[in-house]
Structures are given as C-alpha cells and as structure tokens.
Amino acid sequence: MTPVVETIEHDGKRYAIIIRNTCSENGVRFFTPDDSSLQVGAFHLPKNHQIEPHIHNACERTVHYTSEVLVVQSGKLEVEFYDAERSHLLSRILGAGDTVVLLEGGHGFTVLEELRMLEIKQGPFAGMNDKVRFQRPMPAAKR
C-alpha cells in the first residue's frame, strides 16, 4: 500500500516529501520541518472557517539550495531521486493531485502520461548558476 505521506531520506538527509492526493486530514498540517527553507502544508477546513488577515514581516533568510514543489494536475510523472554524488536512490510515480516537495539532492523526471503540473520554487532564478545537469546512470540491467 502506498503511504499517504512519504519522506525520502538517505544518510540522515531529507531529500523529498511526497504528499498523495488521498491525504485528507482535517485541519492544518505542515509537512516540512520548521527549519526547512520552503514551508509546505495542507489545509482541510470547514465552510465559513476564517483565517485571520495578516501581513508577513520582513525577515532575512539564508537559502543554500533551491527547493521545489511539484503538483501534478493530470497525467503521470516518474520522479527519480539522486544523492549529492549523483547516485540513483529510488524512483516514485506521481499521479493527478499528488505533490512532491524536493528539498535536497538531485532529481530527474520521466513523463509517463501527458502531464499538467505546477512547479513552485524559490527565486529569484539564478540562471545557469542555479543547477548542474548530469547524465542518468545506466540501469544495472543494461550494463
């Protein structure tokens, strides 16, 4: 059975959090820890619930890595997770309504069915300094 919320960890590092479309807890739940540079939560609130109007204060923050959130709107996406040495850790398939929070390490994607998705990440965009591309390792079965 696929867990509703899955944390991808390796060697004590949190690489990603997958939140499945079937996640339906009541109330407010944040999936990222307070020290994460990107905060992701889910809200399931009753009709007429009010969230007090508010303004966020200016706070200086230091961001070392770009974190991303992908929300699959329709289709299927395979997400490959890599460690800092570019070694493949594992893959997961996301479907409509699923969300992945990419926090550390590397990642690659294969579109399995025509895809519509949202990507949310920190800015401003750093251009070519933002990422290093690398080749997928050859699967063991093909070596």
Cα separation values, 136 from 45, 54, 76, 82, 104, Å: 42, 45, 20, 10, 17
Which phi and psi (to 5°) does residue 142 adopt?
A: -100, 0
Quick one: pLDDT at residue 138?
A: 64
Residue 66: Cβ-neighbour burial (10 angstroms; 0-12, 13-18, 19+): middle
pLDDT at residue 98 tops 60: yes
Question: The whole model's pTM is what?
Answer: 0.86
- pLDDT by residue (tens digit) across 125-141? 878 788 888 888 765 45
Weakest mean pLDDT among 43-47, 77-81, 114-118: 43-47
Alpha helices in the chain (DSSP H): none
| pLDDT for the residue 78 | 97
CA end-to-end distance (rounded Å), the chain: 31
pLDDT at 139: 58
CA distance 53 to 50: 9
**Per-residue confidence band for 83, with pLDDT thresholds at 50, 70 and 90:** very high
pLDDT at 142 over 60: no
How much of the chain exceeds pLDDT 70, in percent? Answer: 96
Q: Examine the pLDDT at 122 and tell me if it is beyond 70.
A: yes
Token digits of residue 121: 């990440």
